[in-house]
Each structure stands twice: as structure tokens, then as C-alpha cells.
Amino acid sequence: MIEYKQLTADDMPKGRRLYEALGWTAYLGDDECLHRAWEKSLFALGAFDGGELVGFVRCIGDGEHTVLIQDLIVLDEYQRKGIGRTLMEAVFEKYASVRQKFVVTGADTPAVHFYRALGLYSFEEGGMLAFFKL
């Protein structure tokens, strides 16, 4: 049975294992930086199976006008079991009054279909344009 609980920066090593397992290498170069990022997170919720973290959502933003879903990650063997949906719905419920809730993902990933199924729209569909700098 999957249990959900709020995460803190102290849970970062558990989250790091998921980043590593799924090849999210951009997070893996500097553990101190990653810990600080988790400390500054607005909200993080984990999905646990028998005490083992199997998925989580992590948000950043001000929690009033903007929430960015920075990470939604679920181990491969736990995908398509409703965990990602439950994590996202928890964010939507917690921040129901926030006007802008958004997530950034690759244009050609399976996640696109998942986010559409949750009722999210592309920036283009919303008449908006996003910019970024790496």
C-alpha cells in the first residue's frame, strides 16, 4: 500500500536515489547544491512503499501567484499505478487558489500525454510564450 507524506530537505538523499535511478543527471553533480534546493522548496510530497521512497513531487514558487512543479518523479516499476496522478492532484488541491501552476517537460516525452490527461495545457494553447536561459 502506497503512503504519502510531506518531505523535507532531510529526505534529499532518498530523492537523489530516484534522480539517479531514472537518469536525471543534472541533479547529481553537487549534493550540497541539491540539498539547498530541497531546503528552498515550497512543497514536496513523497510516495512510500514499505518505507521506501518510490516517487515524489517537488514544487518551487511563492505559493500565492505561482507554483512551478519542479520535479515529478516515479520509479519505473511504480509508474501507471496512479502515484504520479495522486502526487499532482495533491499539488492542485494544496494550491487551488494559485493562478499559475505549471510544469516544464520535454516536448517528445511520454510525460506530455500524462500532463494533458491531468488537464494541463501547453503555453501555446494558453496564448502564452515561455523563455528560458541555460
In a domain, 93, yes or no: yes
> What angle do the packed helices 12-21 and 31-39 form, to 10 degrees?
120
∠83-37-50 over CA atoms, to 5°?
35
In a domain, 132, yes or no: no
- Please give the model's pTM, rounded to 2 decimal places: 0.93
Taking the C-alpha atoms of residue 62 and residue 134, their distance in angstroms, rounded to an integer, is: 22
Name the domain count of the chain: 1
pLDDT of residue 51: 94
In a domain, 131, yes or no: no
Range of the domain at 15: 2-126
Do the beta carbons of residue 15 and residue 24 sit within 8 Å?
A: no
pLDDT of residue 44: 98
Q: The domain spanning residue 21 has which CATH number?
A: 3.40.630.30
pLDDT tens for 49-104 read: 999 999 999 999 999 999 999 999 999 999 999 999 999 999 999 999 999 999 98
